[in-house]
């Protein structure tokens, strides 16, 4: 039996429901008609209105406070992170100035707790736009700082969003060591995380992952298959034969216009050098 990670929220929901019920108990205790709340003359409508007033007033106050706390927290967090990002930005500048690896690594060294998160964000953002040797240096930095390791650990997190983020991060970092764990995720995750995992595999661009796209396609709902094909196109000409196989197996899923577009793309990619 495969272990399927569960969200922490699974336990939070019954706990919340229990808490609400607990809050409602005093109200319910008053509600039998034989109990007359002072001044209501046993009129259920008036009793209901009075109880609701208390309940709603409490909710309004709590929600208003929550909005302000949320807002304040977001502002503080954003401000702090922006400030720290500026501090680590010099690492990117050193990288672009082709400074030695050690200098770049030193610039990215986390100082305060929480800095790893900020460095990771900065590196991932830069990796979207950088190619060639600077990209490899950034990947090496990520490896040295334990960012890749951290994301690999997060692949088995209880929180599905943490797993989703980690799998995407590993794809952006083109972490080849993540291929096997990501392939494992294709078997047990929900559809949306599976799609993110497939995209990550496409970003890593290891053609050995291509046959696994067929296995994943078998378990996915048909409307998602064009998206799978679209992700496979990222592999370039190496994916052509696999794409043809996917389309042949699930021909009814692809509308004629899309098929036309796909064939055009396949023809174009097979003409590219190195195909």
Partner 1 sequence: MNMAEFYQWGIRVTEVILVWYSFLLNVLYLGLAFIAFRIVTRHCLRNIYGGFEDISKSPLTPAITVLVPAHNEAVGICTTVNNLLHADFMRFEVIVINDGSTDGTIDVLKKTFRLTPDKLPAESALPTETVRAVYHSATNHNLIVIDKRNGGKSDALNAGLNLARYPYFCTVDADAMLEPDALQRVIRPVVESPVRVIAVGGIVRIANGCRIEKGRVAEVDLPWAPLPIFQIVEYFRAFLCGRTGLSHINALMIISGAFGLFERSLVMEIGGYKVGTVGEDMDLVTRLHDLMVKKGERDYGIEFVPDPVCWTESPTSLRVLTRQRRRWQKGLLEVLADHSHMCFNIRYGWLGMFGYPFLLIFEGWGILIETLGYLVFVAGWWIDAIQSDFMVAYFICAVLGGTLLSLTGIMLGEMTPREYPKFGHWFRLIAYAIIENFGYRQMISFLRLAGTMDFLMGRGEWGRMEREGLSRRRTRA
Give the residues lining the site for partner 1 (CB under 8 A): 39, 43-46, 48-50, 52-53, 56-57, 59-60, 63-64, 66-68, 70-72, 74-75, 161, 164-165, 167-169, 191-192, 195-196, 199, 220-221, 223-224, 226-227, 229-230, 233-234, 255, 257-258, 261-262, 264-265
> In the complex with partner 1, which residue's Cβ is closer, 100 or 222?
222
HSE, side-chain direction, 13 A CA sphere, residue 152: 15
231: left (phi over 0), alpha (psi -120 to 50) or beta: alpha
Which residue number, 61 or 106, has a Cβ lying nearer to partner 1?
61
Q: How many CB atoms lie within 10 A of CB 186?
A: 19
| Smallest distance, partner 1 to C-beta of residue 84, A | 19
Spatial distance between the Cα atoms of 44 and 50, rounded to a whole number of angstroms: 10
Q: Which is nearer to partner 1, 99 or 121 (CB)?
A: 121
CB of 134 to partner 1, least distance (A): 21
Determine contact, residues 206/170, Cβ cutoff 8 Å.
no
Q: What are phi and psi of 151, to 5 degrees?
A: -70, -35
- Residue 104 CB, nearest distance to partner 1 (Å)? 26
State in angstroms the smallest separation of the CB of 159 from partner 1.
9
Transcribe 232-257 into DSSP letters.
HGGGGGGGHHHHHHHHHHTGGGS-HH
| 150 CB-contact burial (10 Å; exposed 0-12 / middle 13-18 / buried 19+) | middle
With respect to partner 1, which residue has the nearer C-beta, 105 or 203?
203
Closest contact distance (angstroms) between CB of 33 and partner 1 is: 13
Q: Which is nearer to partner 1, 62 or 106 (CB)?
A: 62
- Residue 52 tokens read as 């609701």
Closest distance to partner 1 from the beta carbon of 199 (Å): 7
Whose Cβ is closer to partner 1: residue 1's or residue 218's?
A: 218
């Amino acid at each position: 039996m495969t272990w399927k990670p569960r969200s922490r929220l699974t336990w939070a929901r019954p706990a919340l429901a229990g808490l609400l019920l607990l809050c409602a108990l005093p109200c319910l205790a008053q509600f039998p008609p034989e109990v007359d709340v002072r001044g209501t003359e046993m009129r259920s409508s008036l009793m209901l209105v009075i109880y609701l007033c208390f309940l709603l007033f409490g909710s309004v106050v709590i929600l208003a406070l929550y909005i302000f706390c949320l807002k304040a927290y977001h502002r503080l967090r954003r401000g702090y992170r922006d400030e720290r990002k500026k501090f680590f930005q010099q690492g990117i500048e050193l990288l672009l100035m082709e400074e030695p690896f050690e200098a770049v690594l030193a610039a990215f060294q986390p100082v305060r707790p929480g800095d790893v998160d900020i460095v990771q964000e900065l590196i991932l953002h830069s990796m979207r736009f950088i190619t060639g040797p600077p990209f490899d240096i950034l990947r090496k930095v990520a490896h040295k700082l334990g960012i890749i390791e951290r994301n690999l650990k997060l692949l088995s997190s209880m929180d599905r969003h943490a797993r989703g983020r980690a799998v995407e991060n590993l794809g952006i970092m083109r972490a080849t060591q993540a291929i096997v764990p990501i392939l494992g995720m294709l078997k047990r995750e929900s559809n949306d995380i599976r799609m993110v995992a497939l995209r990550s595999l496409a970003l890593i661009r290891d053609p050995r992952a291509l046959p696994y796209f067929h296995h994943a396609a078998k378990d996915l709902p048909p409307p998602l298959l064009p998206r799978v094909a679209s992700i496979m196109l990222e592999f370039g000409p190496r994916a052509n034969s696999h794409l043809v196989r996917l389309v042949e197996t699930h021909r009814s899923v692809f509308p004629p216009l899309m098929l036309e577009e796909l064939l055009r793309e396949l023809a174009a990619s097979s003409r590219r050098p190195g195909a």
